[in-house]
Each structure stands twice: as structure tokens, then as C-alpha cells.
């Protein structure tokens, strides 16, 4: 008797592949939306241990974007934000000195506010632009009209201040490598501030890696947008909620998006590797006049804050890959995603 094999039809094939085309996208979407609960308590429940609090981050973002307002370079609001930032980092420096005096912890905090002038080239839409920059102050992110600049980039300023607060107040925290927090002006006017820091500041030559915090949206997980060394991808794996994709960087490299930011200045002039992390969800409010705190999805700031804090803590520790980092910039890594002597940003240096 001849054997009969069951023939797969189109319907059977579709039913067999349904879990692949339906379940996997749903799982991916769920993972994309998996945000931590926003914290409004400064201390972990039942302890005296400080924790990253979204309420503190959004408080900074609200003050900058809604009380000070539009911080376009050269405006009175821009000057007010600069003065406010100097006061904040000076308070943190004073707090650091008091902690050292009372506890003997091995901490040293420095504050530097830079002004200067210079020039640099910018490649845009296949053309080279020659930029002059004058009287720039590296201390806080600026903004661009018509946006008050909550997501881009007041939230990142709040994240950095919150990381500084928690690090200093954690009794058992120690560091092997210094951290530079750079609150940077004139990014929206074609990266004048980051260029000034990279080419003229005495701390610039000590940098071995950079973490650039950015936003082009107001919702969803903070996305690891690009990583330029395998060691930094490994460092990112130590954050509590890693999230990244190669696809995002491929789109950016294609030239479809006519945009750039401070990360390119650090790559080109400091010749270092690093990570760039973005808030990208619901980007229709990016650089728009409704970029207010009330329109930021709950937990977005908490997610960026917790990941940034974990990453900084790891890179400053004895386990840091800083000593083994490549001596210069390498092409963006395309691996799957599952400073320090100096790290990130100017404003306050912990070493």
C-alpha cells in the first residue's frame, strides 16, 4: 500500500507561523513598554539608603522648562539657567566637602565653569558649515524654539543631578575612576559648547569614555542608541533594564535623519568611545511647544535615571573596563544587546 504524506497547504502554514508573527511582536512590544514604577520617595522603604527618584528629576525638568522657560542661546532665560546651574553644582560641592570632613571618605569634588570662543566645521546635508562660537558656558543644556525643552534635554540634566545626589549620600560608595558631569550649552546651535569643552578645557584630555543622554521623544524605555566599543556594551549590560537595537543606529547612519548632537564632538575631538542613550517614544512632541512635564510618560525619567546611575557606578568601580578601552574611536558596534580617568559631562568632577 502506498504511503500518503500529508501536504501542507497555505492555511496550515499560516496557522503554524502565527505564533512567530503574532506572539513574538507582542512580547517585543511588552518588553519595550516595561518601565519601572516611578519613585517619589528619596529613600528606599524602611532604610536610610537614598535611591533615584523620578520626582526629583522631573522637579529639575519642570523648573528649567516651565519656570525659566525657553533657554535659547543668548537669551535672558539662557543666562538664568546658567546661573541656576552654577548654584546647584556649588551646593553639591559644599555637600561633598562636608561629607569628607565628617566621615573621612575619599572624595574630592571640583567645579569648573568655562567660557571661551572658537570655531569648528559642521557637515550638514552634504555641505560643510564653518561655525564661530563666543562666550559659551558649559553648565546646562540649552533649548530651541518653539520647545520649552523638557525632554530635550532638561530631563537629562535632572538625571545627572540626581545621580550626583545619590552617589554622594551613599556611605559605602567608592570609586576607582573619576567622573566628570558636563552640563553643556549651545548643543542646539550646532554643538558649540561640547566643541569648546573638547578642544579647550583642561579636563578634556583625561576623558576615556562618554555617556551622552539625549531625547527625541517623551515616552517608552530609554534606548541605547549607539555604542562604539565592545567594552562599553558589556558595561551597559550591568544596568537594571537594558534596552537597545542595532536598527536605530543603522537608520541614523543612513543619513535619512538630518540631525547630529554632542556625541560626534566627543568622538571626533576627544577620540574616545562611549554610549548614547535616547528617550524616543511619541516623538511628535520633539522640539514642539507642548514639550512639558505633564506630557512626559510616568516612569520614563525613572528608567533613564536608574540605568544611568548603575552605568556610572559600574564605570567608576574597580570592575570598570576603563583601563582596557580602545585608545580611540571605533566604528559603532553591531552586537546583540540582551569618565575616568574621566566619564561624561563637565560641571562637577568626583575623583
What the block records as the C-alpha cell of 269 is 575631538
CA-nearest of 120, 121, 99 to 108 is: 99
Give 79-83 contacts, CB < 8 A, sequence gap 24+. 81/140, 81/142, 82/137, 82/139, 82/140, 82/185
* Contact present, 215 and 153 (Cβ < 8 Å): yes
Q: Which of 39, 54, 77, 187 is catalytic?
A: 187
Please state, in angstroms and rounded to a whole number, the distance separating the CA atoms of residues 37 and 303.
9
* Contact present, 289 and 144 (Cβ < 8 Å): no
Residue 104 φ/ψ, nearest 5 degrees? 75, 10
CA-nearest of 211, 201, 328, 206 to 272 is: 328
Is position 250 annotated as part of the catalytic site? no
Alpha helices for the chain (secondary structure H): 10-18, 24-32, 54-62, 76-103, 155-169, 192-200, 230-236, 246-253, 262-265, 300-315
Please state, in angstroms and rounded to a whole number, the distance separating the CA atoms of residues 201 and 349.
13
Query: Would you list the DSSP string of 78-101?
Result: HHHHHHHHHHHHHHHHHHHHHHHH
CA-nearest of 345, 336, 320 to 231 is: 320
Please state, in angstroms and rounded to a whole number, the distance separating the CA atoms of residues 137 and 80.
12
76-103 vs 155-169: helix crossing angle, rounded to 10: 10
As annotated, the active-site residues are 187
Amino acid at each position: 500500500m502506498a504511503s500518503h504524506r500529508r501536504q501542507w497547504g497555505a492555511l496550515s502554514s499560516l496557522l503554524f507561523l502565527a505564533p512567530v508573527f503574532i506572539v513574538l511582536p507582542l512580547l517585543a512590544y511588552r518588553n519595550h513598554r516595561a518601565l519601572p514604577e516611578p519613585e517619589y520617595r528619596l529613600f528606599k522603604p524602611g532604610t536610610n539608603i537614598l535611591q533615584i527618584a523620578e520626582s526629583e528629576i522631573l522637579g529639575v525638568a519642570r523648573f528649567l522648562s516651565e519656570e525659566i522657560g525657553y533657554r535659547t542661546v543668548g537669551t535672558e532665560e539662557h543666562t538664568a539657567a546658567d546661573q541656576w546651574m552654577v548654584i546647584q553644582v556649588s551646593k553639591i560641592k559644599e555637600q561633598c566637602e562636608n561629607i569628607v570632613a565628617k566621615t573621612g571618605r575619599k572624595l574630592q569634588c571640583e567645579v569648573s565653569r568655562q567660557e571661551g570662543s572658537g570655531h569648528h566645521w559642521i557637515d550638514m546635508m552634504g555641505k560643510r558649515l564653518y561655525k564661530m562660537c563666543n562666550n559659551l558656558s558649559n553648565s546646562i543644556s540649552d533649548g530651541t524654539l518653539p520647545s520649552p525643552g523638557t525632554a530635550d534635554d532638561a530631563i537629562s540634566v535632572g538625571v545627572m543631578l540626581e545621580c550626583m545626589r545619590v552617589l554622594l549620600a551613599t556611605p559605602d560608595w567608592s570609586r576607582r575612576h573619576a567622573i566628570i558631569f558636563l552640563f553643556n550649552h549651545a548643543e542646539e546651535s550646532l554643538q558649540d559648547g561640547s566643541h569648546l569643552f573638547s578642544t579647550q578645557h583642561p579636563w578634556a584630555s583625561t576623558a576615556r569614555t562618554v555617556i551622552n543622554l539625549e531625547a527625541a521623544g517623551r515616552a517608552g524605555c530609554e534606548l541605547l542608541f549607539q555604542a562604539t566599543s565592545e567594552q562599553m556594551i558589556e558595561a551597559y549590560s550591568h544596568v537594571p533594564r537594558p534596552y537597545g537595537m542595532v536598527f536605530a543606529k543603522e537608520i541614523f547612519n543612513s543619513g535619512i535623519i538630518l540631525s547630529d548632537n554632542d556625541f560626534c564632538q566627543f568622538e571626533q575631538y576627544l577620540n574616545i568611545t562611549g554610549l548614547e542613550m535616547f528617550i524616543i517614544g511619541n516623538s511628535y512632541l520633539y522640539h514642539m511647544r507642548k514639550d512639558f512635564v505633564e506630557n512626559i510618560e510616568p516612569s520614563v525619567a525613572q528608567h533613564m535615571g536608574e540605568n544611568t546611575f548603575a552605568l556610572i557606578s559600574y564605570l567608576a568601580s574597580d570592575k570598570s573596563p576603563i583601563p582596557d578601552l580602545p585608545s580611540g574611536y571605533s566604528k559603532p558596534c553591531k552586537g546583540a544587546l540582551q569618565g575616568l580617568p574621566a566619564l561624561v559631562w563637565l560641571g562637577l568632577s568626583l575623583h
